[in-house]
């Protein structure tokens, strides 16, 4: 069983806050590749951002996600948490272009069989300079992921809308149960 655990779901659903809590508890956390691409592109006035060139953005995020997976510490006694992952960005590329890479990539890059998804949470959703899409677009993304992960053989657990410490406890308890 892979120690690589994906925390995914609806944008603005509290993923990054949860992952920061898990990191405070000593776990390795790999931040979202898409955010890193956007931050780099904004610093260099690049065009590989979702609101200018979505395919270029997704290809870059796929490359970073592959590198994250390959360079993540592999210690079967310690969970490694991914803020999204290769499946998310590849699924977005497939939805956008019809380019079918998802099945092949998901065979070579397997994560833990349990994937945690944050549901839409309008009360905490905010847009910012890096997250410019609205809650409706985030919901569509969530619904796509809610179907894709089980289709690829993953078990999906929806994260409850509770405080961050309780959410982190929930994730760790579910993983401990097997």
pLDDT tens track for 129-174: 665 566 677 788 889 999 999 999 999 999 999 999 999 999 999 9
CA distance 174 to 178: 7
Specify the CATH number for the domain of residue 69.
Answer: 3.40.50.300
Total-model pTM: 0.89
Q: Total structural domains in the chain?
A: 1
Mean pLDDT of the chain: 89
| Contact between residue 15 and residue 34 where contact means Cβ atoms under 8 Å apart | no
Confidence of residue 124 (pLDDT cuts 50, 70, 90): low
Residue identified by tokens 């078990």 is 155
pLDDT tens track for 76-109: 679 999 999 899 999 999 999 988 888 888 888 9
Confidence of residue 3 (pLDDT cuts 50, 70, 90): very high
CA distance 139 to 161: 16
Burial-class residue 130 by CB neighbours within 10 Å (0-12, 13-18, 19+). Answer: middle
| DSSP-based three-state secondary structure for 157 | strand
Which among 60, 28, 23 has a CA at the least distance from the CA of 41?
60
Question: Cα 53–58–60 angle (5° rounding)?
Answer: 100
Interior/surface letters 89-122, b for 16+ CB within 10 angstroms, e for the rest: bbbbbbeeeeeeebeebbeebebbebbbbbebbe
Beta bridge partners of 5: 81
Structure-token pair, residue 125: 């959703």
Which among 107, 84, 83, 112 has a CA at the least distance from the CA of 177?
112
Structural domain boundaries enclosing 173: 4-177
């Amino acid at each position: 069983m892979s120690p690589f655990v994906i925390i995914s779901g609806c944008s603005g659903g509290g993923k990054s806050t949860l992952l920061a809590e898990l990191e405070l508890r000593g776990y390795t956390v790999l931040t979202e590749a898409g955010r890193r691409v956007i931050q780099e592109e904004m610093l260099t006035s690049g065009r590989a951002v979702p609101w200018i060139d979505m395919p270029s953005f997704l290809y870059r995020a796929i490359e970073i996600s592959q590198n994250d997976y390959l360079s993540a510490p592999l210690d079967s006694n310690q969970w490694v948490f991914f803020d999204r992952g290769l499946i998310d960005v590849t699924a977005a590329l497939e939805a956008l272009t019809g380019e079918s890479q998802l099945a092949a990539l998901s065979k070579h890059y397997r994560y833990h069989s349990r994937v945690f998804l944050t549901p839409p949470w309008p009360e905490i959703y905010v847009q910012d300079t890096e997250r410019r899409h609205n809650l409706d677009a985030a919901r569509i993304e969530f619904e796509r992921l809610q179907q894709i992960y089980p289709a690829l053989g993953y078990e999906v657990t929806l994260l409850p809308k509770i405080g961050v410490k309780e959410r982190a406890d929930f994730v760790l308890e579910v993983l401990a149960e097997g």
